[in-house]
Amino acid sequence: MSSVDAPVADASRRPFRGRRLRLGDVLLQGVAGAAALGATVLLGLIAWKVVDGARPSLSKFGLGFITRIAWNPVPGHEIYGAASFLFGTAITSLVALLIAAPLAMGIALFLTELSPRLIRGPVTALVETLAAIPSVVIGLWGIIVLGPQLRLHVEPWLHKAFGFIPLFGTPSSSGASVFTAIVVLTIMILPIVSSITRELFLGVPHDLKEGALALGATRWEMTRGVVFPYARGGIAAALILGLGRAVGEAIAVTQVIGGGLLVSWNLFSTGDTLASKIANEYQSATSRLQSASLIYLALILLVFSLVMNVAAQVIVRRVSRRMGIGVSR
């Protein structure tokens, strides 16, 4: 969570001014500085290595790689493109966020404003435990339990009720589908978004809330008029954090999405995301061009995440400046 810098006295930012040079201080600054430098250098090295690794594919396919729907590693017929996986990444993460956002708001609101004090603690702990389940376990559960259930009960129902929307086409024949991946991702990002949102709601000053109630507002009016506007910037950042998790998640998605090129709008067909394609094929890539193309996918993923991070910070700054208040505590 980024927050707005509190005004800091200049002197405190320069710890050594006007003091004697002490060995301890120098060491501390050296070690801490090296750690910060290390992290920065590491990011630079990773970015450089990814670009370097993708070079054979970059020079062969250029930017056309991004818009092409193709993936054929058979020697002599090799052709690669990222469009299908970009689409898979976008649709799984965005739809998962769309489902998770209102649920997370509801959980946070319940835990901060509405729940009886007695169950508040246990429910909070349980929701946060959901975040601690390793993604590989969620993936296993997804393929063994969730997938077949969705295929048997949820997908046919959605198809019958909303079949006129291309997203809800013919139900999948196995439990592995883009839709299963969306549900798994929803479960994975729900605890992150809800626990951050809960913290934000707790941070809303009591006098503001009590003031609203004293003016005769109902709980809903108080929530809508005070809690949401106060936490708006933070909520946006929490959602983008959740989106980042969904975009980068590889293992659980790889287990349930079924693989292959996604060429239709039907959520019940199989597909791949950028991350799942890399997780599936990188270790077993057999040609230089195939490895390079997978690294090219990684490069796209890296840029995607970077853009999202920057967007999160911009949104937080803009909203909090407009509101003229801090967004977290």
> Does residue number 88 form part of the binding site for another protein (CB under 8 A)?
no
Chain mean position to CA 184: 13
SS3 label, residue 270: coil
8 A C-beta contact, residue 252 and residue 138: yes
Q: Which of residues 155-214 bind another protein (CB under 8 A)?
A: 173-176
> Could you give the CA distance from residue 105 to residue 155 in angstroms, rounded to a whole number?
26
Residues 147, 191, 234, 242: which binds another protein (CB under 8 A)? Answer: 147
> Does residue number 254 form part of the binding site for another protein (CB under 8 A)?
yes
> Does residue number 144 form part of the binding site for another protein (CB under 8 A)?
yes
Q: Please enumerate in sequence order all residues whose Cβ is within 8 A of that of 275, keeping only pairs 6 or more positions apart, or say none.
A: 89, 247, 248, 249, 250, 253, 254, 301
Which span sits near another protein by CB under 8 A: 43-51, 72-80, 84-92, 103-111?
72-80
Q: Which of residues 258-317 bind another protein (CB under 8 A)?
A: 258-261, 270, 280-281, 283-288, 290-291
* Maximum Cα interatomic distance, the chain, rounded to a whole number of Å: 78
> Could you give the CA distance from residue 231 to residue 198 in angstroms, rounded to a whole number?
10
DSSP string over 180-228: HHHHHHHHHHHHHHHHHHHHHHHTS-HHHHHHHHHTT--HHHHIIIIIH
- Element of type H or E holding 56: helix 23-61
> Does residue number 11 form part of the binding site for another protein (CB under 8 A)?
no
Which span sits near another protein by CB under 8 A: 68-76, 88-96, 125-133, 201-209?
68-76
Residues 53, 56, 148, 225: which binds another protein (CB under 8 A)? Answer: 148
Which span sits near another protein by CB under 8 A: 97-105, 217-225, 234-242, 252-260?
252-260
Shortest gap between Cβ of 14 and another protein (angstroms)? Answer: 10
> Does residue number 321 form part of the binding site for another protein (CB under 8 A)?
no
Closer residue to another protein (CB): 16 or 265: 16
> 205, 202, 144: which is closest to 174 by C-alpha?
144
Shortest gap between Cβ of 3 and another protein (angstroms)? Answer: 27
DSSP string over 288-323: HHHHHHHHHHHHHHHHHHHHHHHHHHHHHHHHHHHH
Shortest gap between Cβ of 302 and another protein (angstroms)? Answer: 21
Residues 7, 24, 62, 76: which binds another protein (CB under 8 A)? Answer: 76
Closer residue to another protein (CB): 21 or 63: 21
Residues that bind another protein (CB under 8 A): 16, 21, 26-27, 29-31, 33-34, 37-38, 70-77, 143-144, 147-148, 173-176, 254-255, 258-261, 270, 280-281, 283-288, 290-291
